[in-house]
Amino acid sequence: MRTHLLRLSGPVLGLVVYALLRYLGHAPAAMAGVVTWMAVWWISEAVPLAVTSLLPLVLFPLLGIDTMGGTATNYGKEIIFLFLGGFLLALALERAQLHRRIALRIIGRIGGTGPRLIAGMMVTSALLSMWMNSTSCVLVMLPIALSLLDGDGDPALRKRLTVPLLLAVSYGATIGGMATPVGTPPNLVLLEVWRDHWPDRPPIGFGQWMSFGIPLMVIYLGIAWLLITRWVFKVPKDHISPPAEVKARLASLGKVTYAERVAAIVFATVAVLWVTGDDLTFGNGFALHGWRGRTGLTSFSDGAIAILGALMLFLIPIPQALDGDAESRPPHALLTWKYAEANVPWGILLLFGGGFAIASGIDRSGLAMEMVAGMERLKGLSPPLLIGAVSGVVCFLSELGSNTATASLTLPILAQSTEAWGIDPQALLIPATLAATLGFALPVASPMQAIVFGSGRIPVREMVRAGIWMDLIGLVLLVALLS
């Protein structure tokens, strides 16, 4: 009965929102209704998330927001294939059992208690994300986190640790990406907007960005660790596995197998290509040039790298069949299509496509313009209140769709508004950019959230429960540190 009521409440609340906002015009009001409908179904899980993600394909053409063809393009964007390649790479690590060896090494080095493991995963993700794409960072770290949860220790303890440990990977990558200009796509959007609108002003360099990004990262990571270990989840301090048991299990794995070597080489090659592909500009004319600029392969993106690595896993031969392929004929490989078909979380690819569709619909319907235009009324506010209000609106928009799309939609409009508001452009645009990265509450808010949700081990309610606090804390930090 409860499920039926939740299913009904989605379209009913959507109609209520449409009626309340009808004065804005049909398209913006209809889009607001669609967003409400999908948000209710996503948060309540009254309908499978992948099914909810397909609603734009029906509702956008029906309501005149976009054509079927225009809507469908959102489900085939490059980043979705980056996800697909990353999922396949992670499956190869798991199938070769390399993830278990890595996890035992981590437990042996930093300790096997819940708070220590969460701190280790969070800090590692943050440090990687400072220099590589945050999405790629999570794709690298997630298999390691899952292997920590799939060991032979106390099952009840591992169950209590599952959600906070996986969120630590996402939170660490998201927060670390805020520390440098290249850490996350919204930062790059700001640099492009800055060059377009103020070409006569000095560019925002690495040193300038890190002068506020590093303190923000350190403080935010500390608060996030306390939040998910002592406040929201109260992680137990018991050892998942005693140190002696960890050593024994490492010894029982024996020597590194050929399959593990193949998985490690392919995975490491992809990770290195992700990290070194683009230029790193440090200001004062100093830059480290990536291989794309040196070779002219500017179209060979991170998504293409991920798919290339995944293809190699189907093609590189290994001496013997792995578990589940005992009856298969040579040549054997780390991955077979049958195995991939059964284990890739295909629904998450649809979920992210639905998020892109929402972001596109908000733009095409004019709803984004209406929301930003409404901020003109904030002109008389003091700078801290203005920064807080603008960052709050951007953060809310980011929860409804891609953080990159949110930054691309809002930053050009905000850039034009700074003169009317009489505020320094950097003082407003930098917090707004970082606010676009904040989306912690919903899987659709960012690639980092979507990837860890794709593990199938985090209920939406738990993600929302912790994510709302992360959003609020982030907004407070942005106002306190950048206003």
Q: How many CB atoms lie within 10 A of CB 113?
A: 18
- Reference 146, options 138, 136, 156, 135; nearest CA is 138
Q: What is the pLDDT of residues 6-31, one digit of tens each?
A: 889 999 999 999 999 999 999 999 99
CB of 375 closer than 8 Å to CB of 418: no
Average pLDDT over residues 410-414: 76
Cα distance between residue 173 and residue 169, in whole Å: 6
CB of 375 closer than 8 Å to CB of 409: no
Compute the chain's Rg from CA coordinates: 23
Q: How far lies 81's CA from each of 86, 114, 125, 349, in Å?
A: 8, 33, 22, 8
Q: How far lies 303's CA from each of 74, 262, 337, in Å?
A: 15, 21, 19
Q: How many CB atoms lie within 10 A of CB 438?
A: 32
CB of 42 closer than 8 Å to CB of 444: yes
Q: How confident is residue 401, by pLDDT bands cut at 50, 70 and 90?
A: low
The number of angstroms, rounded, from the C-alpha of 165 to the middle of its chain's C-alpha atoms is 15
Q: How many CB atoms lie within 10 A of CB 207?
A: 10
Cα distance between residue 56 and residue 69, in whole Å: 11
DSSP annotation of 229: I
Q: Record the tokens describing residue 395, joined without a space.
A: 């953060």
Strand partners, 287: 281
Q: How far lies 54's CA from each of 47, 154, 168, 328, in Å?
A: 11, 39, 29, 36
Average pLDDT over residues 34-43: 84
pLDDT at position 327: 52
Cα distance between residue 277 and residue 292, in whole Å: 5
Q: What is the chain's mean pLDDT, rounded?
A: 82
Cα distance between residue 172 and residue 448, in whole Å: 10
Res. 208: pLDDT tops 80: no
Q: How confident is residue 62, by pLDDT bands cut at 50, 70 and 90?
A: very high
Q: How many CB atoms lie within 10 A of CB 317?
A: 11
Cα distance between residue 426 and residue 319, in whole Å: 58
Res. 480: pLDDT tops 80: yes
Average pLDDT over residues 356-364: 81
Amino acid at 392: G
Average pLDDT over residues 71-79: 85
CB of 350 closer than 8 Å to CB of 54: yes
Average pLDDT over residues 440-469: 87
pLDDT at position 107: 66
Amino acid at 250: L
pLDDT at position 25: 92
Cα distance between residue 337 and residue 326, in whole Å: 15
Cα distance between residue 473 and residue 467, in whole Å: 10
pLDDT at position 363: 78
Three-class secondary structure assignment of 407-424: HHHHHHHHHHHHHHHCCC
- Reference 213, options 169, 170, 192, 182; nearest CA is 182
Amino acid at 47: V
Q: What is the pLDDT of residues 281-329, one digit of tens each?
A: 555 556 677 788 888 888 888 788 889 999 999 999 887 766 656 556 6
Average pLDDT over residues 409-419: 74
Q: Judge if pTM exceeds 0.75.
A: no
Cα distance between residue 174 and residue 447, in whole Å: 10
Q: How many CB atoms lie within 10 A of CB 212?
A: 17
Greater pLDDT, 248 or 424 = 424
Amino acid at 309: G
Q: What is the pLDDT of residues 217-259, one digit of tens each?
A: 999 999 999 999 999 988 888 777 666 666 776 777 778 888 8
Q: How many CB atoms lie within 10 A of CB 231?
A: 11
Cα distance between residue 26 and residue 287, in whole Å: 49
pLDDT at position 420: 67
Average pLDDT over residues 446-451: 84
pLDDT at position 445: 77
- Reference 250, options 133, 395, 98, 399; nearest CA is 98
Q: How many CB atoms lie within 10 A of CB 48?
A: 13
Greater pLDDT, 412 or 54 = 54
Where does residue 281 rank: exposed (0-12), middle (13-18), buried (19+ CB within 10 A)? middle
pLDDT at position 239: 73
Average pLDDT over residues 104-130: 80
Res. 55: pLDDT tops 90: yes
Q: Record the tokens describing residue 414, joined without a space.
A: 């905000």
